[in-house]
Structure 1
Amino acid sequence: MRDTARPGTARPETAPPPATPARDRAIDALRAFAILGVVLGHWLVTAFVGSGADLRVTSPLKDMPQFAPVSWVLQTLALFFLVGGYAAAKGLRPDEPWRRRFAHRLGRLARPLPILLAAWIPVAAVLARAGFDGATLSALVELVLAPLWFLAVFVALTALTPLVAALWDRLGARGAVLLVAATALVDAGRFALGAPEQIGWCTVLTGWLLPFYLGVGWARGALRSRRTAVALLAGGAAATAALVAFAGYPASMVGVPGADVSNLSPPTLAAVAFGLAQTGLALLLHGPLTRWTRRPRVWSAVSAANRPAMTVYLWHQTALMAVTVATAPAFGAVGGLHTRPDDAAWIVQRVAWLPVFAAVLAGLVTLVRRFERPGARAATRARPSAWFRTGHRRRGGTLGR
């Protein structure tokens, strides 16, 4: 049969699919730095005191507050929400129902969660039979479940991406000012006006929506000038310093056991100001990171760090606890693991243990990832010829893409 299509016109069945925007490698690098900051931060400020089956959770920041600046480097949650907002806004497509895309993103985010819970139920039972008391078990399980608040908030904000994008289109930077003002009002109610402490949890929304909102704006073409980046970095840093120095906010950007106020639980105005400084720094680093990630080895490392990002986030505390609990019966109180974190020697000892934590985490991630996508593995094994014929390796999804 003769082809009746006009010259230069592709038939529907052979027309190329819509172009996909090029991947922003700098955003992936920022996400990798964020996950590295969270993991190292938790490993450095989470300490277990005791021996055998009697362990209590504390923090070196409780006995050595002079090391609070460490938390300024390793508390990277605002960076997570910033790149999450950017990636979610870039994923908006007018020709694709957001509900379908959100379901796909939710599957990638939540897939490691059932495996974590399924693993810890028998682990907790074994530890109880091994003689760990209720207080120790409660502390261990709390450390496992604590990171889940991030997943819940991140999923909620991701679901609201079309609304957040519409708000940015309508309000622009004024929306960010309103979120800062709302956080300030909540803090004023908590700390100055005698309002119930429970109102502080409103800032879980206003505090983390702010970097997510700015990420959406960034994806839509705003915040591109160097002047804006410098203003956010300098203004956020100055506001954070002023709040700590003159308004009584804690210097630590992470929670400290026994402290009256935490900057993270719930987020305070100081944490919000600190997040603005991180946003400005991320904007400034975007250009250099774009050039840096053009190197094949660098991009390979960044890509490898992003693929299991959520798995790493959910399991890194388990790796820390596995090393701590496994060494307690055999060696008693081990420096940097079970001794009180009250001097510089403990920090040196803990740093020496970081490679061990990393090795255990790598093993856990390798094991867990085998169970996260069994259907994909089966499909790959069922079609080996197609895999080799295309000559392309399958690449896993990344957090927030």
Structure 2
Amino acid sequence: MAPRRPRGIPPPQCGKPVRLLKQVSELAREAGDERNRYADFLRAVSIVLVVVGHWIVIDLELDSDIPEGINALAQSSWIHWGTWAFQVIPLFFLVGGYANAVSWRHHRDEGYTWASWLRRRTLRLLWPTAIFVTAGLVFTPLASLWDVPVAILSEAAWAIAIILWFLAVYLAIAVVTPLSFRAHERWGIGFVLLLIALVAGVDAIRFLGEVDLVAYVNYALVWGAFHQVGYLWADGELPSLPSLAVGVVISLTAAFALVNWGPYPVSMVSVPGAEVQNTAPPTLALLMVGVAQIGFVLALRQLVRPRLEGDSNLWRATVAGNVAIMTVFLWHVVPVLVLAWILSTLGVSLPSPPGSFSWLAFQPIWILMLAVLLIPIVLVVRHGERPPEKLEKLASRETTGWSPLALGLGGVAIACVGLARLTLAGFWVGEPTVIPVWGALAFFVGGIIVLGTGSLGKAPR
């Protein structure tokens, strides 16, 4: 077999920040021209928007004796329109679909099985997530022994873990890439249009037939549709620039109509207390906003690509944004807790209420403080971005037959259920030293099953 294609942008193996910057520069120079640098750029921009968006909507009430976290979206309705720009999870699925298409086609052409590909792909997500989950399960209960108020600890444990929902959904969609990619090869954009029609049908049954449970099917349909567009991109089957522009206008118009005359809220991020949420489960309105986002960024690719060529500053920034992207995603809420403790200890109050001019003017300072706190966390934790070599070798073993595939898919399903449970419960369930056992157990057991299927195969040639 031919040598495997290098995996994305590897995390730098260095200790000091200065050495880290040097190695990022080296990675930027060494990146081949065959890379789709715009996909890397979108991934980096998306993680920045996700982090900043989360930081903005998290507000702190520090005037009382016990600090309290407040969701700014629940306090100010005009902020809801900003979620149309900051809700960029559709872009993650777009880029994920592109990367999975390229990766699966390469492995398939080289003769690797679905089970072998699944194991390698899954390990890259499960390993840094396992470190994060372990830290949450260990330190959150310990904090309950340090006289941290129960209300604060319970809320913090949930806020840190809530981001795990994305990984559960993404893993579930990514591991069936061989099936969804086959649908793409057969029907192309027609399959995307079918998914959009199904989303509309599901919402019609939900709101007109008052069958709420059917809405959960949209987790697969909405996010799966964005993932399928990534396949179109990978195969060069995207619509022309004028068609993309028309698509953006149509989808935005549809989104405006849905939130103004339909049952959908304006916010594309969940708002506490709202009867209908556009993300939990996802709706047709979110799908339309996501289609507009994707059409917009894909229309810009010819404009941005020249600025990513060679060793440009924009390409270096893109590489820097990708080298520890999982670490940043998983750990970016932790600085909020640290800053809340610091400000509460110092007796500092923050501008309020959310949405006011003083609150808005303070946001750049707020974001800067959190970014400063996030940097040392990333420098320490990023070493867990890449799995140990022994685990990589185990994941790389070639397996054939249906048993490794069935076990691998079953393991992923169990791990996703565990992540979903941790998303809902957080890392602490309200009693000292008590953790959400079943969620944690399902995640780790599922991951072990997936990785363990490598023992059924042989070392790669």
Q: Which TM-score band (shorter chain)?
A: 0.7 to 0.9
Contact 2:354 2:360 in 1 (8 A): yes
Does structure 1 residue 46 correspond to structure 2 residue 58? yes
Does structure 1 residue 65 correspond to structure 2 residue 77? yes
Which has the higher Rg, Structure 1 or Structure 2? 1
- What residue is the counterpart of 1:359 in the other structure? 372
Give the Cα separation in 2 of the matches to 1:319 and 1:79: 25
Q: Deviations over 1:240-280 (max 9, x none)?
A: 11101111311111111111111111111100011110110
Identity over aligned pairs, percent: 31
Contact 1:218 1:224 in 2 (8 A): no
CA shift in 2, pair 1:267/1:373, >3 Å = closer
- What residue is the counterpart of 1:136 in the other structure? 152
What residue ranges of structure 2 are gaps of 5+ in the alignment? 7-32, 391-461
Give the Cα separation in 1 of the matches to 2:361 and 2:213: 39
- What residue is the counterpart of 1:396 in the other structure? none
Q: Give the one of 247, 259, 271 matched to 1:256.
A: 271
- What residue is the counterpart of 1:157 in the other structure? 173
CA shift in 2, pair 1:371/1:67, >3 Å = closer
Contact 2:247 2:295 in 1 (8 A): yes
Q: Deviations over 1:323-354 (max 9, x none)?
A: 113322x1235205xx5425221222233111
Does structure 1 residue 89 correspond to structure 2 residue 101? yes
CA shift in 2, pair 1:327/1:129, >3 Å = farther
Counterparts of 1:211-360 in structure 2, within 5 Å, are: 211-294=226-309, 296=311, 297-328=313-344, 330-332=345-347, 334-336=349-351, 340-341=353-354, 343-360=356-373
Structure 2: which amino acid aligns with 1:352? I
Q: Which moved more, 1:103-112 or 1:16-25?
A: 16-25
Q: Which moved more, 1:272-281 or 1:227-236?
A: 227-236
Give the Cα separation in 2 of the matches to 1:218 and 1:132: 49
Q: Deviations over 1:351-370 (max 9, x none)?
A: 31111111111111110013
- What residue is the counterpart of 1:35 in the other structure? 47
Q: RMSD of the alignment, in Å?
A: 2.4
Give the match's secondary structure for 2:61: strand
User: Please, what TM-score do these two structures have when normalized by structure 1?
Assistant: 0.83
Q: Deviations over 1:39-73 (max 9, x none)?
A: 11100012233457734433222222112222111
- What residue is the counterpart of 1:370 in the other structure? 383
Give the match's secondary structure for 2:333: helix
Structure 1: which amino acid aligns with 2:51? V
Task: Using the TM superposition, give the Cα deviation of residue 295 of structure 1 relative to its aligned residue in structure 2, in angstroms.
Answer: 5.1
Q: Deviations over 1:145-203 (max 9, x none)?
A: 111111111112221111111111222222112211221122222222221x2322111
What residue ranges of structure 1 are gaps of 5+ in the alignment? 1-11, 378-401
Structure 1: which amino acid aligns with 2:220? L
Contact 2:98 2:233 in 1 (8 A): yes
- What residue is the counterpart of 1:384 in the other structure? none
Aligned residues: 359
Give the Cα separation in 2 of the matches to 1:239 and 1:248: 13
Q: Deviations over 1:18-53 (max 9, x none)?
A: 888811001100111111111111000122334577
CA shift in 2, pair 1:346/1:123, >3 Å = farther
Q: Which moved more, 1:310-319 or 1:110-119?
A: 110-119
Q: Give the one of 181, 199, 205 matched to 1:183.
A: 199
Give the Cα separation in 1 of the matches to 2:282 and 2:139: 32
User: Please, what TM-score do these two structures have when normalized by structure 2?
Assistant: 0.73
Give the Cα separation in 2 of the matches to 1:77 and 1:53: 36
CA shift in 2, pair 1:174/1:335, >3 Å = same
Give the match's secondary structure for 1:47: strand
Structure 2: which amino acid aligns with 1:334? S
Give the Cα separation in 2 of the matches to 1:372 and 1:63: 36
Contact 1:58 1:257 in 2 (8 A): no
Contact 1:81 1:208 in 2 (8 A): yes
